[in-house]
């Protein structure tokens, strides 16, 4: 198809990469983002080989590399700090590193700049009020009183998707999994040139983010889903590290800034059945919100964007494109959600402890498969 007008709801990773991929194919794209400040957490994210491949296809890989920190190995440590394995990350694009770490604000800037350069119109502080699909397009009214008509609406509005509620009111909500993640940035030390991950029941590790920074992630069981006040958060995170591997606990002594701690209860959700209805479709966390144990949530959202744009360009009806998209994405995303959750359940004693190096190797193999 050609000349489609497309509304993307949500200016996060999936929304912006969709805007890029759709804009590159000549579609007219509006993006609405409900957060007027468009704020993102100040920590980072791991982008694996399949993401390197996907952002190369989007044409933003050089910006990514410049804004982040590329590496080719994952170093896996035992809880006694001994190196258990140095797993090479297979490059899927020969001239670029296998993986990279990148700060979320830097990532957002890379994607937003490119989305605008590809022609996307981005409006902040706006959300959808109503959708009216008449089988040939969708009339949309917005929270700022404006309205528009689109050939396609893409719901990329994240885990707590309003679009999912509008399209699939019976879909259910994401569920808290009993575990939370803590993250904190540090100046990068010279020994952190790869991702470091620990085996055992405590999910902990370090990721280089740039030449200047790296971040620590730590998952902890939080069965009662407590709400910690901001004041004192650094002390609480330090306390959570009391049983951590010695190297991590020692580094943790530098956690002193309450505002630098990013604490996030973890939820999981997979939308069974169709991810589309009429001329509207869900992508990213709105359709398949995973816990971060395999570091693939954003990767799946970015792959969704590429596949959706390819199918909309290559098919002769919206319905055929949506069906083909779902066929290519459903099982791959389900696997990531389920395998990530299994690691989580093992860590908190609600399931068998998953062999983490094996699970990582399986994920790398699965996500290396063509899209
Ligand atoms: C702790 C943690 C660590 C993670 N680490 C990694 C990692 O290392 N690697 C990785 O690949 N993934 C990781 N992820 C997952 C990753 O962050 C998500 O999978 C990814 O952000 C999903 O992209 P998305 O566009 O679907 O949603 P989001 O990035 O959440 O974007 C949704 C956007 O929609 C906006 N929005 C929400 N509702 C509306 C509305 N009604 N109208 C308009 N706009 C709306 C939001 O403000 C937001 O900007 C992690 C997740 C967590 C929680």
Edge-to-edge strand list for the sheet holding 44-47? 44-47, 99-103, 69-71
Query: CATH code at 196?
Result: 3.30.9.30
Instruction: From 8, 10, 102, give the residue whose CB has the most ligand 1 atoms within 8 Å, as the site to mutate.
Output: 10
Domain boundary pick from 266, 282, 315: 266
Residue 355 sits in a domain whose CATH number is 3.50.50.60
CB neighbour list of residue 329: distance below 8 Å, 6 or more residues apart: 275, 300, 303, 304, 307
Low-confidence ranges of the chain (pLDDT < 50): none
Share of the chain above pLDDT 90, in %: 93
Q: How high is the pLDDT of residue 41?
A: 79
pLDDT in tens, 315-345: 999 999 999 999 999 999 999 999 999 999 9
Domain with 11 in it: 5-70+93-174+269-368
- Dig out the tokens for 110 from the structure: 């890379």
Report how far residue 43's alpha carbon sits from residue 213's, in angstroms, rounded to the nearest whole number: 10
CA of 158 to the centre of ligand 1 (A): 5
Give, for 204, the enclosing helix (H) or strand (E). strand 204-208
Burial 179-190 (b: 16+ CB within 10 A, else e): bbbbbbbbebee
pTM of the model: 0.96
Same domain, 108 and 45: yes
Whether 208 and 150 map to the same domain: the answer is no
From the alpha carbon of 13, which atom of ligand 1 is closest?
A: 25
pLDDT of residue 42: 74
Query: What is the model's pLDDT at position 43?
Result: 86
Distance from residue 13's CA to the centre of ligand 1 (Å): 6
Q: Kindly state whether residue 120 falls inside one of the protein's structural domains.
A: yes
- State in Å: Cα 39 to ligand 1 middle: 12
Domains: count for the chain: 2
Q: Are residues 240 and 112 in the same domain?
A: no
227 and 152 part of one domain: no
Q: How far is the CA of 256 from the centre of ligand 1 (A)?
A: 27
Report how far residue 312's alpha carbon sits from residue 318's, in angstroms, rounded to the nearest whole number.
7
Distance, CA 242 to ligand 1 centroid (Å)?
Answer: 30
CA-based torsion, 9, 106, 340, 202: positive or negative: negative
User: Which residue's CA is the nearest one to ligand 1's atom 42?
Assistant: 127
Contacts of 344 (CB under 8 A, 6+ apart): 177, 178, 179, 203, 219, 266, 268, 291, 293
CA of 181 to the centre of ligand 1 (A): 15
Indicate which atom in ligand 1 lies nearest the CA of residue 16.
Answer: 25
Query: For ligand 1, what atom is nearest to the CA of residue 266?
Result: 53
Local structure of residue 26 (DSSP, 8 states): T
Closest Cα to atom 15 of ligand 1: 297
Are 127 and 9 found together in one domain? Answer: yes
pLDDT of residue 200: 80
Ligand 1 atom with least separation from CA of 289: 19
> What are the pocket residues of ligand 1 if the criterion is a CB atom closer than 6 Å to any ligand atom?
9-15, 32-35, 45-46, 127, 156-158, 162, 181, 264, 284-286, 292, 295-299, 301
CA of 5 to the centre of ligand 1 (A): 24
- Could you tell me if 29 and 23 are in contact, meaning their C-beta atoms sit under 8 angstroms apart? yes
CA–centroid distance, residue 190 to ligand 1 (Å): 30
């Amino acid at each position: 198809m050609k000349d489609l007008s497309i509304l993307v709801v949500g200016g996060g990773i999936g929304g912006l990469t969709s805007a890029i991929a759709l804009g590159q194919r000549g579609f007219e794209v509006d993006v609405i983002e409900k957060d007027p400040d468009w704020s993102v957490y100040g920590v980072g994210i791991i982008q694996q080989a399949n993401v390197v491949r996907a952002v190369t296809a989007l044409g933003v890989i050089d910006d990514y590399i410049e804004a982040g920190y590329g590496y080719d190995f994952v170093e896996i440590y035992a809880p006694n700090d001994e190196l258990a394995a140095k797993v090479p990350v297979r490059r899927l694009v020969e001239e670029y590193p296998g993986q990279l770490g990148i700060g979320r604000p830097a990532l957002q800037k890379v994607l937003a700049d490119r989305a605008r350069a590809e022609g996307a119109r981005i409006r902040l502080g706006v959300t959808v009020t109503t959708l009216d699909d008449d089988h040939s397009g969708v009339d949309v009214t917005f929270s700022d009183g404006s309205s528009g008509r689109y050939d396609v609406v893409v719901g990329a509005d994240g885990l707590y998707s309003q679009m999912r509620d509008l399209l699939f009111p019976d879909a259910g909500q994401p569920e808290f999994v009993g575990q939370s993640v803590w993250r904190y940035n540090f100046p990068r030390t010279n020994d952190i040139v790869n991702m470091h991950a620990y085996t055992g029941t405590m999910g902990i590790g370090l990721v280089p983010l740039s030449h200047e920074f790296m971040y620590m992630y730590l998952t902890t069981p939080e069965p009662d889903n407590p709400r910690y006040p901001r004041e004192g958060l650094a002390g609480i995170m330090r306390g959570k590290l009391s049983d951590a591997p010695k190297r991590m606990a020692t580094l943790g002594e530098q956690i002193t800034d309450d505002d630098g701690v990013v604490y996030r209860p973890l939820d999981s959700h997979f939308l069974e059945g169709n991810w589309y209805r009429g001329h509207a479709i869900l992508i990213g966390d709105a359709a398949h919100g995973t816990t971060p144990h395999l570091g693939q949530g954003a990767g799946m959202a970015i792959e969704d964007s590429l596949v959706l744009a390819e199918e909309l360009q290559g098919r002769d009806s919206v319905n055929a494109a949506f069906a083909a998209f779902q066929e290519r994405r459903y099982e791959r995303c389900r696997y990531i959600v389920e395998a990530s959750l299994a690691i989580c359940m093992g860590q908190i004693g609600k399931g068998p402890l998953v062999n983490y190096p094996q699970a990582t190797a399986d994920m790398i193999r699965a996500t290396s498969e063509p899209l």
